[in-house]
Structure 1
């Protein structure tokens, strides 16, 4: 059982899709996650993200404000395609409505921009531990 969990963690869960049209934010997160041992894919639009979802993506970080469709719609589509994928929604507009809507659509986390990278990685690690305990 432990080998199966390790396989999923190593092969799939460690690939993170970052969807953010703010290139500076996306690159900062990518570099941080790569330093933690994650493989990262970047997309600046929902269309680009959907083209990458067939990769071995286990985690998606979605900005709410995207140029083509909003992050909530993308979240719904991604969860429909990969229901077990860990998802985090990030937004510069951290309202109660945004947080509530994201969680209702299946987001595992909701973070305000600018993203606190230490909190983000701790939440992600905790989610992995909970998943491994199942």
Structure 2
């Protein structure tokens, strides 16, 4: 079974580095960036799943989600946040996010959601 192509977008450099490394060790083709400007380069490589922090320094995560869905609606986006903001969770899901996780992220739960999101993307295509 093909492993998902992943893009991690989070402003915490250490978090991005660690998560990217852990996902690569699990066989994923994963890339991590710390802002939306860097992420744009990877969108053309058509990631299957994007793990997106809701609180980015250069642009709001909800705006990034909208831009991703405009670019390619089949890309599945798992939103991350350091806190549970019910309104932002509802908004992100209404804007097309696949799911929402609160940091610290349990890697097994994240991998499970990535796999489910990858399957959903394949159904859409």
Number of residue pairs the alignment of both structures matches = 124
| Contact map agreement 2:7 2:32 (CA 8 A) in 1 | yes
1:3 aligned partner: none
In the alignment, does 2:121 pair up with 1:110? Answer: no
Residues 13-54 of structure 1 show CA distances to partners (whole Å, capped at 9, x for unaligned) of x21111011011111211121111111112111111112211
Q: Relative to structure 1, is the Cα distance of residues 118 and 73 closer, same or farther in structure 2, using a 3 angstrom cutoff?
A: same
Shift of 1:82: 1.0
Unaligned 5+ runs, structure 1: 1-5
Unaligned 5+ runs, structure 2: none
Residues 91-120 of structure 1 show CA distances to partners (whole Å, capped at 9, x for unaligned) of 012121121011011000100011111111
- Aligned to 2:80, which of 82, 90, 95? 90
- Aligned to 1:23, which of 5, 8, 13? 13
How well do the aligned residues superpose, as a CA RMSD in angstroms?
Answer: 1.8
The whole-number CA distance in structure 2 between the counterparts of 1:54 and 1:122 is 25
Higher helix fraction (1 or 2):
1
Q: TM-score if structure 1 supplies the norm length?
A: 0.83
In the alignment, does 2:48 pair up with 1:64? Answer: no
Structure with larger RCO (C-alpha < 8 A, sep 6+): 2
2:39 aligned partner: 49
The structure number with the bigger radius of gyration is 1
The whole-number CA distance in structure 1 between the counterparts of 2:75 and 2:122 is 14
- Aligned to 1:122, which of 106, 112, 115? 112
